Structure 1
Amino acid sequence: MRIIIRIVVNVLLSLPLNLFAQLTADAGPDKVLCFGADNFVPVQLGSNPTAVGGTGPYTYKWETHFFYQMGNFTITQFASDFLNDTTSANPIVEWGTFNHTPLYFKLTITDANNQTAIDSTIVNFSSWLFTNDYWEFHIQQGESIYLNYGAGAYSNYPPYEYLWRPGHGITDSIHESFWAAPDTSIVYNVTITDALGCRIDEMARYHVYVTPVSTENISINNTIRIFPVPASQKLNFRLKQQQTEELLLLVYDLTGKMILNQVFETVNFSVDINELKPGTYIYRLFGGGELIGSEKFEVL
């Protein structure tokens, strides 16, 4: 009897361990397919390995069902409509649903001893649409402009993150709309990332052309004198020509933010600047709706 028991034990110990191991299926983590994005990567289902335990060889079966209505007809699609191989351990997702509905993929694995194991994964589809246009603007050096025509692309997974480059002259580079006051002509590009992490890179959106003006004297026809420069309490304006229309004075900081907006009815006037922070500012003076002077000045 001892000899028989010992023989049985020896035979059991000599058998492959995976004969007694539980078969496990691993369909892999949920995935995202970024259609039309710059970080597009083909989606591969399954893990490495997809089947663990049991006894090989294994058979794999991927399944899904997608229904949509077309008129009076109900259309049904299956895993073979989306995967390159429904019997592979690691098939590739070649296409997504027409309306970007996420797909639930069920994986069934069967081993050589007819053990079965089941797992599942979800694939989300982010698809980008583009307006394919850009905007041109022409400004004078020292002017600012509000760029709010949109970023030009969107996906089916908001909200979006924005990054405008280069950062020169921009007051806010992470929102869709922003103020810009570049010193030279420039093209602003945007990178957009949606809620699934799908990304569009460096879309050229805004072309801003800046007309340079002399920083020594940019008053038109030398008709305006300002003093003292630099100033600390008051900035005085003297016009060398008669002006019958009222005068509109606008003062901006270098980010393009308007600081002062005042109207005057005389050609000689003073502006209280004691509340301005020390730094460089730009004034623009209009008479009769036309620009008659623009110049940088320093505040102490």
Structure 2
Amino acid sequence: MANDNEYWKTPLTPGQKKELDLDLIEEIDRKTGDDDHRNSDYQDTVTQMREFRQMMLRMIGFLTVLAFIFLALNNWTRLVNMPSLDFLMKSLEITQDPAIRELQHGVAAVSAGGQRGTGFNIHPDGMIITNYHIVRETPDVFVTFSDGPPYRGKEIFRYPESDLAVVKLEGSDLPVLTLEKRPETQPGDEVVIIGNPLGFPQVASTGEIIGKTRIRGWDNPVLMIRGPVHKGNSGSPVFNSEGKVIAVIFATLSQERLSREERNQDPIGLAVPVESILDYTEAKVDEDTSPEN
């Protein structure tokens, strides 16, 4: 190899230069240089593609991590927003009172076309007070007390103007609750609510009347009650200190209408006063009311 290198370093004589086609040699050198340049460009392209692929893999990994973080935060938010279940422990405490346990017997679970809520009985043969929005979708309404078989609604009377409904049953000697015919409620009054919140049956809780409010399109104001009122409490009776029904839960106040401080407290339930119930039941749902079967 050393002799070869020396050979190529040997200068040409004038005669050798004449015999060689120097133009051809330069052309060959030029083409060879172009090939080297193209090979260099190819290598650069491959390197760029590899770098781009690595960058895309890193980006996909980053987006995947972000997606997992988002899902984790979303699930955490749901957990944070779940209502506290402390009211179940409170219910166990409240129901140590025999009078409260007696009231529970007159409270029933109401199901209608996939809707579930609460109702209560005011007649031995079965006259259930519940909410219109629970029974409006179907004529098939089923009522279940804490013990005994489920009853199918025989007649259903609907009063959408106050979100109330009366469901008549074919029963006998059913437990009965008493309506307060002359209610006198004041802000600060403590009340008891019995219902089926979040699917838990016969839950008793305490609340406090904080005032009244009006709903657009309704003739009469409704009660505002601060307490553990949740989905499933619709149709729950509200009792005064004497164990008589003074109102029926039908909704909770929208969180948008509450201050930040209020949102950290128990929800504010809305309840139809007993006066509206008396308008429909004092005449035992007379013949002037047309039932829907």
Structure with the higher fraction of residues in helix conformation: 2
Q: Highest relative contact order (Cα 8 Å, sep 6+), 1 or 2?
A: 2
User: Which one has a bigger Cα radius of gyration?
Assistant: 2
Structure with the higher fraction of residues in strand conformation: 1
- Fold shared, TM-score > 0.5 on shorter chain: no
What is the TM-score when the length of structure 1 is the normalising length?
0.22
